Chain A
Amino acid sequence: MKRSRVIKSGLRTMGRHKMRSSFMMLGVVVGITALMLVVAMGKSTQAEIMAKVERMFSPSNIMLFSGPGQMRGFQEGGPTTTLVLEDLEAIEAEIPNVELADPLQMLLNQDAIYKDKSTELNVMGHSPAAEVVWNRSVTRGSYFTEADMRQSARVALIGETAVRDLFGDIDPIGEQIRVGSVPFRIIGILEPMGIDPHGIDKDNEIIVPITTVMRRLMNVDYVMAASLRVRDRDKIDDTVADITALLRERHHINADETDDFSMMTSVQIREMVESMTRIFTVFLPLIAAISILVGGVVLANLMLISVNERTSEIGLRKAVGARSNDILTQFLIESTTVTLVGGIVGVALGLAGIQAMAAMMGLPPTIPWGAMTIGLAFSALVGLAAGVFPARRAATLQPVEALR
């Protein structure tokens, strides 16, 4: 009863000094808002990247690269030339868990010409299986066929960026473009896919039968990579082992030699993405948390100043019967309330900021419940810690000194 009256009296005094209390709050408000924004943006960005990765790299896929280690198709001393279309046919035929194999050969930054217009685009060679394996179909026209593959047909599916650059308002279906000296007939418009995690515009490309890229554009008989769709994704690790064994046999690799190919599953890709986005999920929140701490230091200073300014109030309260503990309680409650209210204001601002930023960046808003709870608890703790020293200073003031 008495304790609650002491607390109420302290809170009322606080409420009457809105300016002072607001300044004390400021650091914590900014800290929590920053923490929430950073964590939410980090989560949104990570989710966005994950969604893209998921879209481009289904958990049911295994990525097979020619050459040891990732992307060694580009290594010095020329590309590894041992992975061929027959390997993929063998994998499809002999490993039951592999449903589909889509080979990949590509040429980046090729000049493409339509009438008097030209643009630079990427030429991706795939098999018709790509439609399923990469989960990317056409919005108009049709995909190329096995027959096109066999004949190395000069047909192409084109992405929207390339359409815009080459055709403008003209309907590209049935039109002919040239890549180098090779003419291609456009038979379909690719589903838009946006920018991939490597920063490549997946809509600025044409997809053509891989045999066409190999024979007519590059004059090679090997592929760079392949994407394999498995039937049962839980057995994906066993399947990777089976493929390794099969390819080592087909490539005549001795037991003491290393693989001339490498594989990657979606689990590894997720890990890569997570480690790349750690800056959003770990380091930036840490900086925001430090800003709450700084807010606490500022609060402690303001509280000390406040105690000095209010010696007369403290002296009076003591003269009329406040015990040291009552004063200690009053100031601790004050500092904790300041940071808690500051925390709540910060959360409100943070939520508003998240909505605004999500709308601006076209991302789905993420509410960082964890950051919110931890931030609030942390700020109350900081308030308590920041209040201890000033409150004790206030509590130990002699009434005689304080009333002078």
Chain B
Amino acid sequence: MITLENISKTYKKDESAMVQALKNVSLPVGQGEFLAIVGPSGSGKSTLMNIMGLLDRPDEGSYLLDNREVSVLTIDELAQLRNQKIGFVFQTFHLLPKTSALENVELPLVYSDRTDLKDRAQRALEKVGLANRARHYPSELSGGQQQRVAIARALVNDPDIIFADEPTGNLDTRSSLEIMALFQALNRQGKTLVLITHDQDLAQHTQRIVRIVDGEIVGDDPVAQPKDAEAALQAMPAAPAH
């Protein structure tokens, strides 16, 4: 569903220095895949995600999304495509403060043509197991719960693909496993997922690992035996009540 070909991106670091974040990157992503883009910080993986997620445009190269060239679209057309086809999960959750979980999940629908905002948002919260937290504010939720609200927000408009940028970076081990289990479940239901991380272990939960160093893809391998997050959770000692 995604075909990147010879994508390059250069940006200004300061007045004098230019940094080439991506060099001739080519990458196909198929429907229903769960892949990880792994690299150290500064490797260009975030730039890659931004371009794949239509948050940024490449300087050179071609990007086909569902066989449509998107590198030529206007800013507003990209916004509309993001709204309809793409969901984002960020390391820092990016939930609106003082705003209920339900309304946070509703946010993408505000900018869509859909009408049944509340119902859809409620169903998305059910999918991440937070139906009973709809009225809670982010400050009243644990980190793991906040991230699940963010995932519900990514799901609410029924996107084709979800990008998760270090989604467990701010979470403890148990919450991280819960998030990964949720991703694996979503993937089993047919969602395409792209996980961006520097954590090699975490990447083992996906089906395919793309390694990127200094703006170039240096490896692209299937994961022989993906870890099962749900099983790991079961094996953990009982969670303290919270």
Chain A residues close to B by CB (< 8 Å): 1-2, 5-6, 9, 12-13, 16-17, 312-313, 315-326, 398-400, 403
Contact = CB atoms under 8 A, between A and B. Distances in A.
A403 B107 contact: no
6 contacts: A6-B111, A13-B99, A16-B99, A319-B53, A323-B111, A398-B55
Contact of A403 (B94, B103, B157): B94
B54 to A, nearest CB: 9
Interface in B89-112: 90, 94, 96-99, 103, 107-108, 110-112
Contact of B83 (A321, A324, A325, A398): A321
Nearest to A6: B110
Contacts of A13: 96, 99
Given A398-B56, A400-B56, A320 B111 contact: yes
Contacts of B98: 16-17
The 6 closest A-B pairs by CB, nearest first: A321-B83, A321-B111, A320-B108, A16-B98, A323-B76, A316-B94
A218 B72 CA distance: 103
A321 B82 contact: yes
B111 A319 contact: no
A242 to B, nearest CB: 80
B88 interface: yes
Interface in B38-86: 50, 53, 55-56, 75-76, 79-80, 82-84
B153 interface: yes
Given A313-B96, A316-B96, A324 B111 contact: no
A320 B75 contact: no
B14 interface: no
Given A9-B107, A316-B107, A324-B76, 9 more contacts: A1-B115, A12-B99, A13-B99, A317-B107, A320-B111, A322-B79, A322-B110, A323-B76, A400-B55
A326 B111 CA distance: 8
Given A325-B76, A400-B50, A320 B99 contact: no
B113 interface: yes
B80 A323 contact: yes
Q: State the main secondary structure of chain A at its contact with B.
A: helix
Contacts of B90: 403
B94 A2 contact: no
Contacts of A321: 79-80, 82-84, 108, 111-112, 157
B93 to A, nearest CB: 10
Interface residues of B, number: 29
A148 B75 CA distance: 98
B7 to A, nearest CB: 15
Contacts of A312: 94
B48 to A, nearest CB: 12
A373 B203 CA distance: 64
B76 A319 contact: no
A141 B103 CA distance: 82
B81 to A, nearest CB: 8
B153 A319 contact: no
Contacts of B110: 2, 5-6, 9, 322
A16 B83 CA distance: 25
Nearest to B108: A320
Contacts of B113: 2
A206 to B, nearest CB: 74
Contact of A319 (B55, B75, B112, B117): B55
A139 B96 CA distance: 75
Contacts of A1: 115
Nearest to B83: A321
A319 B82 contact: yes
B99 A2 contact: no
Q: Which of B83, B103, B110, B157 has the most CB of A within 10 A?
A: B110
Contacts of A317: 107, 111
B151 to A, nearest CB: 13
A320 B84 CA distance: 9
A12 B99 CA distance: 9
Contacts of A324: 75-76, 79
B55 A2 contact: no
B107 A320 contact: yes
Contacts of B56: 398-400
A319 B88 contact: yes
Most chain B CB within 10 A, of A1, A17, A319, A324, is at A319
Contacts of A6: 110-111
A260 B43 CA distance: 102
Contacts of B75: 323-324
B83 A320 contact: yes
Contact of A322 (B94, B111, B117): B111
B116 to A, nearest CB: 12
Contact of B79 (A17, A315, A318): A318
Contacts of B53: 319
A315 B157 CA distance: 18
Nearest to B90: A403
Contacts of A323: 75-76, 79-80, 111
